[in-house]
Structure 1
Amino acid sequence: MGLSSIGIEAGTWLIFGLAFVILLTGVPLGFATSAVALIFAFGWFGPDAITIVTSRMYGIVTEYSLIAIPMFVLMASLLDRSGLSADMFHGMRIFAGRLRGGVAIQTVIVAFFMAAMSGIIGGETVLLGMLALPQMLKLGYAKDIAIGSVCAGGALGTMIPPSIVLIIYGMITRTSIGDLFIATITPGTILMLSYLIYIGVRCHLRPADGPPLPEAEIETSSHRDALRLVLLPLMLIFLVLGTIYAGIASITEAASLGVAGAAIILAIKRRFTPEVLQKSVDQTFNTCGIIIWAGMGAIAIVGIYNLMGGGRYVTSVFTSLDVAPIIIIIIMMASLFVLGTFMDWIGIAILTLPIFVPIVKAIGYDPIWFGILFSVNMQVAFMTPPLGPSAFFLKSVAPPGISLFDIYRAFIPFVCIQIFVLSLLILFPEISLWPF
C-alpha cells in the first residue's frame, strides 16, 4: 500500500507539513520542496512517476517569459554600479529640500522611480539605507520616519513595473504580464501617495520629526543641476516602460533594452569596465539561481499535489463554503499574510497561486485584479516580522545605533497604510481594472 491509501485530505496536511518541517531545518526552499515532491511521487504513484517531477522542473527552466528576469536583474546590477540611483537621489534633494519631511518624501519618490527602473526587491532598501538614512538621522529626523520611509519605499518594487513579483505571477497563472503592469500603475501610485501624505502630515504636525535641509545647503545647488541629475533615470524609465505600454516591445524585449540602456549610461559615466560587467553578471547568476531553484522545487511539489487531486480538493473546499465570494478572497489574503511572515515570496507564489487562481476564476473574479492584491500582500510580507526581509536588508547597512526593534517598530504605521490600501483594492476592484 502506498501513500495514496491515506486520502487527499490527510495527504494535503502531510505533503505541506513535511515541506514546512524540512524548511525549519534550514534546507533551502528549492531543495526542500523538490525532496518532498520526489517522496510523494514515489509513495503516491510509484517509481514511474519520478519522471513527472523532472519534467515539471524542466518546464520552468524552458519558460520563455523567465528570460525577462535575468535581464532586469542584470540591468539593476549595472545601475548599482553606474551611480544613477545616487544621482537621482541627490537631484531630488534640491527639489524637496525646503519641505518639512522633504528628505523622507524624496526617499519614497526616488524608491518609486528606482523600482520602475529595475523591478528588483531589496536593492532599493540597501541603497537608500546607505544614502538617505544617515542623512535623515544627521538632520534630526525621528527614527521611525527615517527608517519607515526607506523600507516602505524599497518595498514598492513588489508592484511597480517592471516588478519581478508580477512577472512570476503572470508566468505561473498564464496572465498577461503587460496587463498586470498596466493594472498596477494606479494602485502603486495610490500606495506611494499614501506614504507621502502620512509623512507630510506627520511632519507638519510635529516639525521636529522631519526638519528641512539647511538653507545654506539648498542655495549651493540649482534646479538646473537637479534636472541634469534626474534626466538619465527618467530616460531609462521611458525606454523600459514606454516601449511596453506603447506596444513597441514585449516584456522580454524591453528588459533587454533596459540592459542596453544601463550599459550606455555606464559608458557615458566612464564606469563600464570588465570588472563591473563581471560583478554584475555574477550577481545576476546568484539572484536568478535562487529564483530558478525555488521555482523548480515549488512547481514540482504543486504538480504532484495536483496529480494527487489536491487542486480539485482545495477548490471544492473553498467553493463549498457558504459565504460571499469576497470572503473567500479575504481568507486567501489572510493565508498569504500568514505565509509571508515566515516564507519567501517566491515560494509563496509558486506554492499557492496554481491553487488559488483557478478558485478566483471559478468564483467570478479577474485574475489580473487578484495579481495586484497578491503583489500588495507580498509588500506587507516584506515588512512583517519575524521574517520581514526589509528589516534585515536595512540592518545590514544601518548605523550601529539602529536596532532590529527600532526597525520593526518603525514599520507599524507603514504596514497599516499597506493593509488599508489592500482593503481598498479588495472593496473597489475598479481601481486596478479601470484601464480594461
Structure 2
Amino acid sequence: MSDIVTIILLFVTLLVLLGAGVWVAFSLMLTGALGMLLLSNAPIGPILATTFWGHSTSWALAALPMFILMGEILLRSRLSQDMFTGLSPWLKRLPGRLLHVNIFGCAIFAAVSGSSAATAATIGKMSVPELTERGYPTNMVLGTLAGSATLGLLIPPSIILIVYGVATEQSIARLFVAGVLPGLMLVALFASYVIIYALLNPSRIPQDDDDDMPFLDKLRATGRLIPVLLLIAGVIGSIYIGIASPTDAAAVGVVLSVLLSWANKSLSWSMLRDSLMGATVTSCMIAFILVGAAFLSVSMGFTGIPRHLAAWIADMGLSPYALLAALTVLFVVLGCFLDGISVVVLTTSIIMPMILEAGIDPLWFGIYLVIVVEMSQITPPVGFNLFVIQGLTGIDILRIAMAALPFFLLLLLAVALITLFPGIATYLPSLMDG
C-alpha cells in the first residue's frame, strides 16, 4: 500500500472516529495502531505502554495542572469585578471608552488563567451586562469579548503553549517568554480597531455621566488591580529572569491565587473544592489527549510517514512562506471542527518534520501555531469562545461569529506580521539565551 493511500486511509479513519463521538485520545491511539498494523511489524502493546508511561510522567507536564488550578481559583474569585472597577475610570478617555475593558480585562485575566474559554466566561459575566445596559453596540460588545478572549491561548502562562512544548520537546519557559510581545501586539491591534470604529461612529458610543471622577478616586479604584498585577509579575517575571522554572512558577502562582482569593474574601471550602475538581477534570482530559498524540507520533515514526512527507515537501520546492500559507489554511479548516489543543496534538507529529526540513524555527512556529489556533476559537461550528458567549447571552452563535469577524481578520494580520518580522516572537527568548 502506497504512503499516499495509507495517509488518506488514516486521515479518514481519524475523522470517522472523531465524527462518531469517540474520545480524541482513543481516536488518536486507534489511528496510530492501525498505521502500525499496515506499515510496521513493531509490537503495538509494549510501545503503547512505554509511551503512556514516558509521557504521563514528564516533569514539564507538571506545570499544566497547577496553572489550570490557578486559573480555576481566580475564575471563582472576585477578580473580574476588581478588574472592571480598576480599569474603567482610565479607559473612558479613549475613543471607544468602556469597550476597551473587554480587551484589557481579557489581557490581564489571560495572564493568570491560560485558558481562552475561562477568559471569555470570567470577563463576559461582568462586562456584557454592564456594557449592554450602558448602551454600547451589541456587536462590538460581543466582538471585543470573543476576539480578546483568544489572548488566553497566547499570553503566558498559556495551557496550549505547555501542550506544544511537551509535544515538540521545546522549552516551555522560552515559549512563554516568546508569547509576550505577540500578545501585546494583539492587544494593540484590537484596541486600535476599537479606536478607529469609535472615531468613525461617534454617535454609537454612549457618553457616561461619571467622567469627572476625582483623581484620588481613580487611584483608589486602580488599587484593586495591584494584587493581580503582582501575581502576573511574580509568575512571568520569575520565569523570565531565570530564578524559577515554569513548574516552580506555577506552584507559586497557585499559592498566590489562594492568598489573593482570601484577601478579597471570596475563598471558601466549597470554592476550593470546585476549583480542584475543575482543574482535575481539565488536566486529565488534556493529559490523556497528549498521551494519545504521543502514541500517534511514535507510531508514525515506525511507519516512516513523517519522513516521507518531509521528503515530499522538500521535493516540491515550496518556500517557507508558501508552506506557512498552506498550513494556515489547513489549521483554520481543522479549527472549524476541533478545539485548539486537539489541533496542536493532532498535527505536530506530522507537521514538525516539514517545518524542520524547511528551516523554520520551531520556537517561532509554536507562537505562529497558537495565533492560528486562536482564530479557530471564533470560527463556527466549533468555536469555543462562541459557545461560551452564547451561553452567557443566549444570542445566536452565527451573529456572535459575525461580530467576531473583524477580530479574526486582525489575528490573520498578526500572523502576517510575525511572519514578516519574526523577531516579534524570538527577540525576548534570545535575551534569555544571552
TM-score (norm 2): 0.94
Distance 1:116 1:335 in 2: 28
Corresponding residue for 1:360? 355
CA shift at 1:154, angstroms?
Answer: 0.8
Corresponding residue for 1:431? 424
CA shift at 1:8, angstroms?
Answer: 2.4
Distance 2:108 2:79 in 1: 11
> For the structure 1 residues 40 and 321, does the alpha-carbon distance in structure 2 shift closer, same or farther, using more than 3 Å as the test?
closer
Residue 434 of structure 1 aligns to a residue whose secondary structure is helix
Corresponding residue for 1:3? none
Residue 2 of structure 2 aligns to a residue whose secondary structure is helix
Q: Which letter does structure 2 place at the counterpart of 1:231? A: I
Asked whether the equivalents of residues 94 and 218 of structure 1 are also in contact (C-alpha less than 8 Å), the reply is yes
Distance 1:214 1:67 in 2: 49
CA shift at 1:51, angstroms?
Answer: 1.9
One of 317, 321, 324 as aligned partner of 2:319 = 324
| Structure 1 moving runs of 4+ over 6 Å | none
Corresponding residue for 2:251? 256
1:63 aligns with 2:62: no
Which has the higher mean CA deviation after the structures are superposed, 102-111 or 263-272?
A: 263-272
Distance 1:216 1:376 in 2: 36
Distance 1:404 1:121 in 2: 17
One of 269, 272, 275 as aligned partner of 1:274 = 269
CA shift at 1:43, angstroms?
Answer: 4.9
Asked whether the equivalents of residues 299 and 351 of structure 1 are also in contact (C-alpha less than 8 Å), the reply is no
Asked whether the equivalents of residues 106 and 149 of structure 2 are also in contact (C-alpha less than 8 Å), the reply is yes
Corresponding residue for 1:386? 381
Asked whether the equivalents of residues 25 and 290 of structure 2 are also in contact (C-alpha less than 8 Å), the reply is yes
> For the structure 1 residues 248 and 314, does the alpha-carbon distance in structure 2 shift closer, same or farther, using more than 3 Å as the test?
same
> For the structure 1 residues 405 and 337, does the alpha-carbon distance in structure 2 shift closer, same or farther, using more than 3 Å as the test?
closer
> For the structure 1 residues 217 and 303, does the alpha-carbon distance in structure 2 shift closer, same or farther, using more than 3 Å as the test?
farther
CA shift at 1:217, angstroms?
Answer: 8.8
1:114-144 Cα deviation digits (max 9, x unpaired) = 1111212211101122111111111221122
| Structure 1 residues without counterparts, runs of 5 or longer | 1-5
Corresponding residue for 1:348? 343
1:245-288 Cα deviation digits (max 9, x unpaired) = 11110000000000000111122233332222111110001111
The equivalences for 1:151-300 within 5 A come to 151-215=146-210, 218=213, 222-300=217-295
| Structure 2 residues without counterparts, runs of 5 or longer | none
CA shift at 1:113, angstroms?
Answer: 0.9
Residue 136 of structure 2 aligns to a residue whose secondary structure is coil
One of 121, 129, 135 as aligned partner of 1:140 = 135
CA shift at 1:384, angstroms?
Answer: 1.3
1:195-232 Cα deviation digits (max 9, x unpaired) = 00000110121023332433279569811222221111
Distance 1:334 1:404 in 2: 23
Corresponding residue for 1:403? 396
1:86-117 Cα deviation digits (max 9, x unpaired) = 21122111211344422111210111111111
One of 96, 99, 106 as aligned partner of 2:101 = 106
Corresponding residue for 2:75? 80
Asked whether the equivalents of residues 377 and 422 of structure 1 are also in contact (C-alpha less than 8 Å), the reply is yes
1:333 aligns with 2:328: yes
Corresponding residue for 1:414? 407
Distance 1:218 1:317 in 2: 64
CA shift at 1:177, angstroms?
Answer: 1.6
Corresponding residue for 1:53? 48
Distance 1:287 1:257 in 2: 20
Q: Which letter does structure 1 place at the counterpart of 2:90? A: F
Corresponding residue for 1:376? 371
Distance 1:362 1:183 in 2: 22
